[in-house]
Amino acid sequence: MLIDAKDPNTPAIVSLLAGGFAGAVEGAATYPFEFAKTRVQLREQKGQPTPKNPFRVVYQVYASEGVKALYKGCLPLVVGSVAKDGIRFLSFDTIKNTFKDPESGTLSPLRNLLSGMASGVVASFTAVTPTERIKTALIDDARNDKRFKSATHCIKTILAEDGLMGLYRGLAGTTLKQAGATAFRMGTYNILKDYERKRDIQQTTLTNFANGSVAGTVTTLATQPFDTIKTRCQSSKGASTVDAFRSIVADYGVKGFWKGTTMRLGRTVFSGGILFTTYEWAAAILNPLFMREQHA
């Protein structure tokens, strides 16, 4: 059995550290799915159509480029996940506490979603957009020009060519995706937890994983178009939001906005479960330590 990490008195530092740790574990564990999804969303090379099956994408890359290629861009994503999820859990818990009903200590479904949306916007501006830009540029560059020698070299090149704003390519799409994704992911998860609390359903690793997986599925289906636009914007050469929108319609029509849904579902079902289970576990360990310090 897990200690309930969603204690109203949870210190901010616990939300930050537990969220960061959970983000790192989730990002590293599910990265091949993220890699496959990003490859599918980028423009196809002439004569080389991209398979729809995520396992086939992963196998083809592994067979032709080796296992190392499957983790191209992984480090920026993991670093970004530490910052993103640390900030996301911290801001969500902070915002949620200002919105909750003082008597019941719970939020209405709408307020849960609004809390998640606000924390998603904060995460997009502070951490997600730059790290997603680097990750996507590295994945795109690896199949074409191969001019980036490392994540550091990629950052230097982008800054030299486009300045600081080059790292914020796809800001609009990323912010819309993060606002929607965090609203649905955090909102759905907490709605499920509140439902279970009211019915005295025991909080275990299994229930946390199941709740996280459901939240991940809802998030993917609701926000996939924003993710596809974001990926096109953040290719190695970059594109504006309008150009990305037009290129998707030109290549695949309206259905193109759901390109990579299978890959992303494969990742988010697991990532949602891993993220929230790891967060609850880490927070349950850290909470007593920091709460003792507060009362010392």
51-74 tens-digit pLDDT: 666 677 778 888 888 888 888 888
In tens, the pLDDT along 108-146 reads 888 888 888 988 899 899 888 998 899 889 988 887 778
Supply the pLDDT for residue 176.
87
pLDDT in tens, 70-92: 888 888 888 888 988 898 888 88
- Does residue 6 sit within a domain? no
Query: Do 123 and 158 touch, CB atoms closer than 8 A?
Result: no
Query: For residues 50 and 191, which has the higher predicted lDDT (pLDDT)?
Result: 191
**Which parts of 30-168 fold into alpha helices (H)?**
31-41, 54-65, 74-99, 109-123, 129-143, 151-162
* Position 4 confidence tier, pLDDT thresholds 50, 70, 90: very low
Q: For the chain, what percent of residues have pLDDT higher than 90?
A: 20
Environment class of 35 (CB within 10 Å of its CB; exposed 0-12, middle 13-18, buried 19+): buried
Is the pLDDT confidence value at 154 over 90?
yes
What 3-state DSSP class applies to 260? coil
Instruction: Give the DSSP H or E segment for 291.
Output: helix 261-295
| Closest-CA residue to 3 (of 201, 285, 206, 197) | 285
> How confident is the model at residue 230, as a pLDDT?
86
In a domain, 5, yes or no: no
In a domain, 49, yes or no: yes
Instruction: Report pLDDT for 3.
Output: 38
pLDDT of residue 167: 93
Residue 287's nearest CA partner among 30, 89, 10, 93 is 10
Q: Is residue 158 part of a domain?
A: yes
Considering the domain boundaries, does residue 1 fall inside one?
A: no
**CATH number for 256:** 1.50.40.10
Q: Considering the chain, what percentage of its residues have pLDDT values greater than 70?
A: 90
Judge whether 296 lies within some domain.
Answer: no
- Tokens 């494969």 identify what position? 266
Average pLDDT, the chain: 84
Q: Which domain holds residue 33?
A: 12-291
**Residue 195 within a domain:** yes
Please compute the mean of the pLDDT values over residues 7-16 and round it to a whole number: 76
Is the dihedral angle over the CA atoms 265, 268, 272, 273 positive or is it negative? Answer: positive
Rounded CA-CA distance 55/262 in Å is 10
Q: How confident is the model at residue 1 (pLDDT cuts 50, 70, 90)?
A: very low
For residues 59 and 67, what is the distance between their CA atoms, to the nearest angstrom?
Answer: 9
* pTM given for the model: 0.69
Of 283, 275, 281, nearest to 14 (Cα)? 283
Structural domain tally of the chain? Answer: 1
**240 falls within a domain:** yes
> What would the pLDDT profile of 170-193 be if each residue is shown by its tens digit?
898 889 888 888 888 888 888 898
